[in-house]
Amino acid sequence: MRANRTMSYGRAEAFMTQLLFRNFKLLEPRVGELQDGFELLVEGDTIREVSERSIRSGAAEVIDCGGRTLMPGLIDCHVHVFLSEVNIRFLEAVPLTLATARAVALMRGMIDRGFTTVRDTGGADWGIKEAVEKGHVVGPRLFIAGQAIGPTGGHSDPRRRTDYSLGLRCHCCNAMAFTMNVSDGVSEVRKAAREQMRQGADHVKIMMSGGVASPYDPLDSLQFAPEEVAAAVEEARAFGRYVCAHAYTPEAITRAAQAGVRTIEHGNLIDEAAATLMAEKGMFLVANLVAYYAMKERAAEYGMTADMLAKNDLVIEGGLRSLEICKRAGVPVAYGSDLLGALQVDQSREFVIRSEVVSPLEIIRSATTIAAQVLRMEGRLGTLKAGAYADLLVVDGNPLKDLSLFQDQGRHLSAIMKGGKFHKNRLH
């Protein structure tokens, strides 16, 4: 249904660059089908007008898309730009200068693949976010958590068993300490959450169950007591932020939901009851199946241990089933990848893996419409409507029929625009 075929935003400013896109098939994820005959005007960093009629703007440079598909930039809701080692314990030997250089390269790869926005769920700080926003480095726009917060012995505590120090209290010694936080008890969790938000966090990340990449915590371990979770949620809400929780099992998901957590990260082992509770609470699942496939296939060569890979085997089978369970329960599922280090080249493979149980349109919406809702950026990201940021992709074909167009490190993307500026443009 096409409610309004002509939309405009604001008034033209003479000093702003204008770009007029023509001759494309419009993929607006909310509509769900390709539409012909539209034109789109970008002014500055914003989409000013989208119209089925000819747009008149004498000052605009015309961009002929050659009949290709024009769609919003992609959003990955679960990345770790500072986790540049597949075995995260190796980060204890990586200084922050090297970690930052690696992060720059990883972010460049993300935007090359068409991800114009990413949500970092543990590690990236306000400094790297500012570097991207000011144009010092090339990368997608960042939404950050700062340090991921977990309890002693939990998923944020990768210390060796021979290390009896309280560890991870240093903010500057190495990449591992920089990206993780260990806090116990209500007062410590409260303080840690406040500190991340003081440092510019867009969301607070907490650990609710064991994880694959952490060495000693069982997957079904319950991490953070209800009162600790409630403290993090209370602080995040007071600051106008929200809590996202690493959780695999129904018990961990239920505990998070009851305490007011907004998004569940992973959720591979979710059951019908936990999904129903999430739907009732208006929560989101951020799934990231590709991480488990990539780890199973290649993580050993990058130093992931046998114990970690054994835990990976426990969750990989539940991944596709979790999508089906959440679809039945009405839980919105956003796109995530959660790949570590050298495995991040597989970021776009998530599209193909999900296609075994979910339609191409639903997957594209997970990386646009639903992802924007997770970020609380509806109308500004994940859409081509007037008033949105000018984050655009020009795709060499119809991704609704061929999700492989997102593969091959952006080879099938003729143009990538973020905030009204071309990152890539071969339409000349």
The end-to-end CA distance of the chain, in Å, is: 34
- Please report which residue ranges of 225-282 form alpha helices under DSSP H: 226-238, 250-259, 272-281
Dist CA 69 CA 414 (whole Å): 10
Q: Which helix (H) or strand (E) holds 240?
A: none
Residue 3 pLDDT: 38
pTM assigned to the model: 0.93
b/e 141-173 (16+ beta carbons within 10 angstroms → b):
bbbbbbbbbbbebbbbbbbeeeeeeebbeeeee
> Residue 207 in contact with residue 121, Cβ under 8 Å?
no
- Please report which residue ranges of 20-138 form alpha helices under DSSP H: 96-112, 126-133
Residue 165 pLDDT: 63
Residue 10 pLDDT: 45
| SS3 state at 224 | coil
The position carrying tokens 């309890």 is 151
The dihedral built from the CA positions of residue 57, 62, 66 and 72, taken in this order, carries a sign that is negative
Residue 414, C-beta contacts closer than 8 angstroms, at least 6 positions apart: 65, 66, 68, 394, 395, 396, 424, 425, 426, 427
Which pair of structure tokens corresponds to residue 2?
């096409």
Longest dimension (CA), the chain: 70
The position carrying tokens 């009896």 is 164
Residue 166 pLDDT: 56
Set out the domains of the chain in order of their start, with CATH numbers.
Answer: 6-72+382-425 (2.30.40.10), 74-374 (3.20.20.140)
Q: In order along the chain (428 residues), what is the average pLDDT of each group of 10 residues?
A: 42 70 98 96 98 92 97 98 91 93 98 98 97 97 97 82 59 75 97 98 97 85 96 98 97 98 97 98 97 94 89 89 97 98 97 96 98 98 98 98 97 98 94
Rounded (10°) CA dihedral 257, 261, 262, 268: -60
Q: How far is CA 392 from CA 3, 8, 115, 150, in A?
A: 22, 17, 10, 37
Rg (CA), the chain: 21
